[in-house]
Chain A
Amino acid sequence: MSTHAATALERLRKSLRARVGVTILGCLALLAIFADLVASDAPVVGRGPDGWYVLPGLVDQRAQAEQGGAAAERYAGHTAVWPLVRSGPRRSVAAPLEPASKAHPLGTDEHGRDVLARLVHGSRTALGVSAAAIGLGILLGALLGGLAGALRGRYNRWLERLVDFVDTFPAIILVAILRAIEGEPTPLSLVAAVAIVRWAEVARLVRTEVLQASVEDYALAARALGASRWRVLWRHLMPNAVGPVVVSSVFGVASVTLLEAAVSFLDMGGETAAPSWGELIAEAVRHPEAPWSLLLAPVVLLGSTVLGSYLLADALRDALDPRTVRLSREG
């Protein structure tokens, strides 16, 4: 006998789609986390005027505060291990729209900033926004959906109306409204907007699963044994929703990343400080004379994020479906 989770994991391990998806998303996540090792103004390990530093860009308060190339210059004369690209995402290092060179493997953008650095740090924005927005959405959706499934009655009906409505309200309009409120556009408004729109889907999934499971024998038995309503909800009903919510959330990574790219592409509410793939695509559109790599590179990264999450979600859906899991075990 193996548990449902174990069977699902086993199936995931066997699935080619899941492996490809996990590899792509994993690489991107590593890139986002260790962006400073790939491109930074400061060295990875370096001896500064006051001794040795590991990742001075993050650790050294002064290097953080210094704008521009001061940090790079300070470490330049000493022994140091430098990242692949010796320039951070925000500093102009060369003439605008330069073609690829040894110092700048993908050339520079319209402000003379290193494209590779902006791409690598852009993955932080893309994945960070997706993860934060989807996490928030799951929290809200699970709470409201679980309550609706458990309380039923009027609350349930209200939630259904609300979910139907929120689902049909365009996220981009919400982003526009939030961007108008913000003094300086930040990715935060995007996270909020997506979370406000996305919780509805999660709530709907949770509610359906909870409603369906609440009349099953095991739920009734737990009640009869004296478990409180909340314990039944938490221990017996909500776990049913984990599968659908996970699948929808992984699919969500694709759509949220695309939305983030679209919003930064449109430059809604002015340029954001955070580097973003969509912004690079926008630059490529503004400057048709720029090298093809300016358009191609962000598209490849964006496309592989979408592809990875789609493949993984697809595999997850098949692996987590209890009906097919049981079938395969019998067969």
Chain B
Amino acid sequence: MLLSLLMRRILWVPPTLFIVSVATFLLLSFVPPEATLDASSGHARREQDELRALPRFFNAAPRDARARSTEAAELVARGGPEAIAAEAELASLGGAALPYVIPKLDGFAPEPRARVALALAPVAERMGLDDLDEARSARTAARFWIRLWEARSVEFRPATARTTVNRLVRQPTGARRRELAKLDTYALPALFERLEPPDDEGELATTRVLVDAIASVTGRDDRLAPHEGLAEARACVARWNVYWVSHESRFRSYEGLSRAAATVRETRYARWASTAVLNLLGDSAETRATLQRARVAAPITLGLLLGGILLAHLAGVALGTMSAVSRGQSIDYVVAALVLGLYALPTAALAAWLRRLGLGGGLWLPMLVVAAGLVAAPMRHQRAALASVLSGEAVRAARARGSSRLRATTLHGVRRAVAAVLSLLAVEPPMALSAVFVVEHVFELDGLGAMTLEAVARRDVSYLMTLSMAAATLAVFVVLALDLAQSALDPRQRTKILRGV
């Protein structure tokens, strides 16, 4: 019974987290664009702009290599101010653009044709072709490419690219490298298909060959040095996979099924999700720095949170018991006034006051400050639960049988009180978190509070996203654990939870 409850609850976890990630993502996608640009380099800006141009969740018309290269070629042919950027785009699209651009050359007038063909000259250079002078001259460039296409268009097929990559992997000789270079970026999909994090030394060599080939084609210098081992290789592969998430659509054309998949994959949400997963698997420098800081910060915050709640419950239960036993007497009023005073005193003020007195250092004092604001709820619950038990029949009967007041209270009161306080545990941490942030701020503790404040100031979307997901995961499991604990304490709850009433 408990097991089926557990299973049912666990089944709910993935969809909940998915919905939270979608919702958070939707919210964060409204973060103003100019604010997120901390890297002012042109390349980073272009990537940002491109990402922002993507739809959030569904891309009805994903742009692939074909769309990009035809568009760029037409812009170059038209000339004008946009042509310069388009030329650079065409050169960076490289081999992947050739199957769509060269057959179109015939359709252009002589002058635009020459411009387009000239724009492809850097590609010829990368491919290591002969007769480079011909490609660089306006008069002969178009002829050069058309001739090349007559001879080699057969090689620009996915199957051929795959074979070429396989042959390179099997025997990484200079000739085979040159062979692959002649496909230029057209080989990238096949290369990334083969690129996997290495498991042993044998695979390490393959990885090195693939990474080398990818780096020389893309012109992005992230290679494996000869002395680097398995761990570095895995990290490097992860970095390249992140790169591929945002660049795949540039070098591949979508047809049929892959087009359908691209309507979902070529969206901001999918890009973010796959990048996040890849970043978790392999560690990039930034993720590592953030994680390292979080590894120190999270225990501080969670320690304050849980420690504060624990202290508050200990004090609250004690005070609640005191006032329940002495209902209507002066102790009851004193306790009520004390607790109310603590509740009404803002955490920030209490912390600031203690700080002014020159106290501080260590985690105990901050924890006490967090606890002070939280005493009220458990105290009230304990008082109410115990009061109803004490005036109930069970205790009256026990007292009538001659049991002492203390015995009757502890035996009959504890179980009720624990169940009542447990239900509080789920709602308290989220409320206490803001108090913890405040206390961290006043006592200058480097916890998650400081990290979050900085992230908001920097508009660090990925940090906020991660924080939200972490909080959601924690929340889901806390609810799960509490339901289990409650159904263990009170069998009536179990059927209620199971039936979902």
Interface residues of A (CB under 8 A from B): 156-157, 160-161, 164-165, 167-173, 176-181, 183, 197, 211, 254-255, 258-259, 261-263, 265-270, 278, 281-282, 284-285, 288, 295, 298-299, 302-304, 306-307, 310-311
Q: Does B348 contact A (CB under 8 A)?
A: yes
Residues of A within 8 A of B348 (CB): 261-262, 265, 278, 281-282, 285
Majority DSSP secondary structure for residues of A touching B: helix
Interchain CA distance A266-B475 in the complex, whole Å: 24
CB nearest to A306 among chain B residues: B344
Q: What are 9 residue pairs bridging A and B, where the CB atoms are less than 8 Å apart in the complex?
A: A165-B16, A165-B472, A165-B475, A165-B476, A168-B479, A258-B346, A259-B434, A261-B346, A306-B346
How far is it, in angstroms, between the C-alpha of A211 and the C-alpha of B500 when the chains are bound? 12
Which of B30, B352, B373 has a CB less than 8 Å from the CB of A284? B352
Q: Which of B196-204, B242-250, B463-471 contacts A (4 or more CB under 8 A)?
A: B463-471
Closest-CB distance, B379 to chain A (whole angstroms)? 13
Cα–Cα, bound, A295→B350 (Å): 10
Q: Knowing A170-B429, A173-B467, say if A295 contacts B353 (CB, 8 Å).
A: yes
**Please, which residues of chain B bring their CB within 8 A of the CB of A255?**
431
Specify the chain B residue showing the minimal Cβ separation from A160: B500
B124 CB, nearest partner CB in chain A, Å: 46
Contact status B431-A176, CB under 8 Å? no
Choose among A156, A258, A265, A304 the residue that contacts B500 (Cβ–Cβ < 8 A).
Answer: A156
Q: By the criterion CB–CB under 8 Å, are B437 and A295 in contact?
A: no
Docked pose: A296 CA to B402 CA in angstroms: 53
Which residue of chain B is the closest to A270 with respect to CB atoms? Answer: B457
- Complex CA distance for A169 and B479, rounded to whole angstroms: 11
- Decide if A281 touches B434 in the complex (CB within 8 Å): no
Complex Cα–Cα for A23 and B467 (A): 42
Contact A171 B352 (CB under 8 A): no
Among listed B86-94, B253-261, B448-456, interface-contacting one: B448-456
B456 near A176 (CB under 8 angstroms)?
A: yes
Number of interface residues of B (CB under 8 A): 56
- Contact A168/B427 with A157-B500, A258-B346 known, Cβ cut-off 8 Å: yes
Contact present for A177 and B12 (CB under 8 Å): no
A302 closest partner in B (C-beta): B346
- Contact string, B401-443, partner A, CB cutoff 8 A, digits 1/0? 0000000000000000000000000110111011101100110
B321 within 8 A of A: no
How far is A291 from B306 in the complex, measured between Cα atoms in Å? 35
A177 to B24, CA, bound (A): 8
Say yes or no for B277: interface residue by CB 8 A criterion. no
Apart from A262-B435, A265-B441, A306-B344, what 13 extra A-B contacts exist at CB < 8 Å? Answer: A168-B426, A168-B478, A170-B430, A173-B452, A180-B28, A180-B455, A181-B27, A183-B32, A261-B348, A262-B346, A266-B437, A298-B349, A310-B343
Contact: A181 with B30, CB < 8 Å? yes
| B contact residues vs A (CB 8 Å cutoff) | 12, 16, 20, 24, 27-28, 30-32, 35, 340, 343-349, 352-353, 355-356, 373, 426-427, 429-431, 433-435, 437-438, 441-442, 449, 452-453, 455-457, 459-461, 464, 467-468, 471-472, 474-476, 478-479, 500-501
Among B347, B349, B373, B461, contact of A180 (Cβ-Cβ < 8 Å)? B461
Going nearest first, the 7 A-B pairs with the smallest beta carbon separation are A168-B475, A170-B430, A172-B434, A306-B344, A157-B500, A303-B344, A299-B349
Q: Is B429 a contact of A281 with CB atoms below 8 Å?
A: no
The answer to whether B456 and A179 have CB atoms under 8 Å apart is yes
Q: In the bound complex, what is the Cα–Cα distance between A160 and B460 (angstroms)?
A: 32
Chain B contacts for A261, CB-based, 8 A: 346, 348
| Contact A168 B349, beta carbon cutoff 8 Å | no
Q: Report if A303-B434 is in contact (Cβ < 8 Å); known contacts: A177-B24, A265-B441, A285-B352.
A: no
Minimal beta-carbon separation of B53 from chain A (angstroms): 19
| Contact, CB under 8 Å: B12 / A161 | yes
Q: A259 CA to B24 CA in the complex, in Å?
A: 21
Q: Report how far A194 CA is from B225 CA in the complex, Å.
A: 52
Cross-chain contact of B464 among A164, A177, A183 (Cβ < 8 A): A177
Pair B27/A266 contact, Cβ less than 8 Å: no
| Complex-state Cα separation, A295 to B346, whole angstroms | 11
State whether A170 and B31 are in contact (beta carbons under 8 Å apart), knowing that A161-B12, A176-B452, A266-B449 are contacts in the complex: no
B352 and A172 within 8 A (CB):
no
CB-nearest residue of chain B to A260: B434
Cα–Cα, bound, A298→B346 (Å): 10
Q: Which residues of A contact B457 (CB under 8 A)?
A: 269-270
Given A180-B28, A266-B449, check contact A288 B479 (CB 8 Å).
no
| Residues A170 and B471 in contact, CB atoms below 8 Å apart | yes
Q: A169 vs B459: C-alpha distance in the bound complex, in angstroms? A: 21
B323 to chain A, nearest CB (A): 14
**What's the nearest-Cβ distance from chain B to residue A260, in Å?**
10
Closest to B461 in A: A180
B459 touches A177 (CB 8 A): no
A183: nearest residue on chain B (CB-CB)? B32
Instruction: Report the bound CA distance from A178 to B28 in whole Å.
Output: 8
A167 with B344: in contact, given A269-B456, A281-B352 (CB under 8 Å)?
Answer: no
Asked whether, in the complex, the Cβ of A173 is within 8 Å of the Cβ of B471, the reply is yes
The reply to whether B437 and A262 form a contact with Cβ atoms under 8 Å apart is: yes
A196 to chain B, nearest CB (A): 10
Enumerate chain B residues within 8 angstroms of A167, measured Cβ to Cβ: 426-427, 430
Tell me whether A306 and B456 are in contact in the complex, defined as CB-CB below 8 angstroms, given that A165-B479, A169-B471, A295-B349 are known contacts: no
Q: Contact at A180–B31, with CB atoms within 8 Å?
A: yes
CB–CB A178/B27 < 8 A: yes
Task: Report Cα–Cα, A34/B500, bound state, in Å.
Answer: 49
Question: Chain A residues with Cβ under 8 A from B476's Cβ?
Answer: 165, 168
Taking the closest CB of chain A, its distance from the CB of B309, in whole angstroms, is 13
Residues of A within 8 A of B35 (CB): 183
Nearest to B479 among chain A residues (CB) is A164
Cβ distance B140 to chain A, nearest Cβ, rounded Å: 54
Whole-angstrom distance between the Cβ of A166 and the nearest chain B Cβ: 9
CB-CB under 8 A from B373, the residues of chain A are: 258
Measured in the bound complex, the distance between the Cα atoms of B32 and A180 in whole Å is 8
* Bound-complex Cα distance A263 to B434 (A): 8
Least CB distance, B293 to chain A, in whole angstroms: 17
CB pair A307–B429 under 8 Å, yes or no, is no
- In contact, A173 and B456 (Cβ under 8 angstroms): no
Q: In whole Å, how far is A247's beta carbon from the nearest beta carbon of chain B?
A: 13
The CA-CA distance from A110 to B131 in the complex, in Å, is 73
Q: How far is the CB of B469 from chain A (nearest CB, A)?
A: 10
Assembled-state Cα–Cα distance A299/B373 (Å): 14
Partner of A262, one of B347, B452, B467, B468: B347
A310/B344 in contact, CB under 8 A = yes
Shortest distance from the beta carbon of B431 to any chain A beta carbon, whole Å: 7
CB distance from B471 to the nearest CB of A (A): 5
Residues on A with beta carbons closer than 8 Å to the beta carbon of B456: 176, 179-180, 268-269
Which of A181, A269, A270, A299 sits near B346, CB closer than 8 Å?
A299
